[in-house]
Structure formats: structure tokens, C-alpha cells
């Protein structure tokens, strides 16, 4: 079998795939399903972890261990590597990974500076005003996106469909104004 889908970038995984046909209650192989598996050993050149994934009666079309169990082993390995209390020796793993040299010398990035920009103004020099749009009935996500596009900050109270805002729809405000959206059913 092929365990290529368990592979991690530049770190070897040794593995064995398995695909079996299951027997039904009568003892034959008609319609009983399959079993897909993958046993992964990581890292391949200095084993520290063994992971075995077995899926009985997989659904969705794929039945092969290399196609459905191997990617799960890869995901588990990624989670193990990302966990602060990981049993793996990360320093040793990093030493064995050959990364390309990008630059001989890295210049430090200067600290960010706070820059205050004036509010947008119309041709007469007056601050630009924005009318709060009608958002009732929209999803919270769509309403927040729309207000951010207009340069407004948003506070969301509740979840789900928008039922109102403060300031109310049609009210003129300046960019940067905070708008509270009320979502879901009234409490």
C-alpha cells in the first residue's frame, strides 16, 4: 500500500497501509464492508511515535487505508508536533530538516510606528458622513462585513440574524463610529 498521504514535509514517516474485506454474519464476504488502516512510525529515521488508525466500514466511497487512514495519521502527527507537551524531541527534528538558506544576514525589522490619519473629508473640508445601512434580516457575518467596508467598528450582541442596530438604520455617522448589532431573538 501507499502511505504517501501520511508524509510530513521533509520529515520521514514509515508506514503500512491495510485494506480488508469484512465477513458478514453468515461468514461470507457479501456486503459486510471493509476495514481501512494505517500504521505510522515517526520520524522514520529515528522512531519516537507509533500511531495506528483503523476505520471499520468507511463511508464516502474510499475504502483504502492509504486514502483515508494515512491522512488521519498525518493530522495526528501535526497535532502532536504542535502540542507544547509533545513527547517528540523538536530540536532534534529541526536539526535533521534541511531548510534552504534565505539570506546570510537578517536585518532587524524596525518597531511599528503609530500613525494617526485624519478622517476622510468632503470637498468643503467637513468630515464625511455615512448612513447606517438597513441590516435587519441579514446574517451577522454579512452585516459585520458591510459595516467594516464602510469604515465603522462593530459590536455584536447575540448571534444569528440581525434584528436591529444602534445607531438605527438611516442615522448619519462618521467613519470609526461604533455600531452595536442586535442578533437573534429578543431576550
**Is the predicted pLDDT of residue 131 greater than 80, yes or no?**
yes
- CATH, residue 82: 3.30.450.330
Domain with 139, as residue range(s), is 130-183
Where does a domain end: 54, 80, 96? 96
Q: What share of the chain is helix, strand, coil (3-state, %, to 5)?
A: 20, 25, 50
Inside any domain, residue 43: yes
Q: What is the pLDDT of residues 82-105, one digit of tens each?
A: 777 777 777 777 666 555 555 556
* Same domain assignment for residues 64 and 16: yes
The whole-angstrom separation of Cα 136 and Cα 142 is 11
The whole-angstrom separation of Cα 91 and Cα 97 is 10
Q: What is the pLDDT of residues 3-39, one digit of tens each?
A: 677 766 667 788 899 999 988 888 887 778 899 999 9
Amino acid at each position: 500500500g501507499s502511505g504517501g498521504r501520511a508524509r510530513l514535509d521533509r520529515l520521514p514517516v514509515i508506514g503500512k497501509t491495510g485494506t480488508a474485506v469484512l465477513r458478514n454474519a453468515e461468514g461470507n464476504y457479501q456486503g459486510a464492508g471493509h476495514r481501512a488502516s494505517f500504521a505510522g512510525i515517526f520520524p522514520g529515521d529515528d522512531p519516537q511515535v507509533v500511531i495506528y488508525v483503523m476505520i471499520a466500514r468507511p463511508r464516502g466511497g474510499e475504502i483504502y487505508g492509504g486514502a483515508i487512514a494515512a491522512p488521519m495519521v498525518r493530522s495526528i502527527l501535526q497535532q502532536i508536533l504542535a502540542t507544547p507537551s509533545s513527547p517528540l524531541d523538536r530540536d532534534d527534528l529541526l536539526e535533521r530538516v534541511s531548510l534552504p538558506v534565505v539570506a546570510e544576514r537578517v536585518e532587524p525589522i524596525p518597531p511599528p510606528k503609530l500613525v494617526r490619519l485624519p478622517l476622510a473629508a468632503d470637498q468643503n473640508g467637513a468630515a464625511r458622513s455615512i448612513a447606517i445601512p438597513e441590516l435587519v434580516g441579514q446574517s451577522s457575518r454579512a452585516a459585520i462585513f458591510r459595516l467594516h467596508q464602510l469604515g465603522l467598528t462593530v459590536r455584536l450582541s447575540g448571534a444569528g440574524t440581525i434584528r436591529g442596530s444602534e445607531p438605527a438604520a438611516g442615522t448619519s455617522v462618521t467613519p470609526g463610529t461604533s455600531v452595536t448589532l442586535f442578533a437573534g431573538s429578543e431576550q
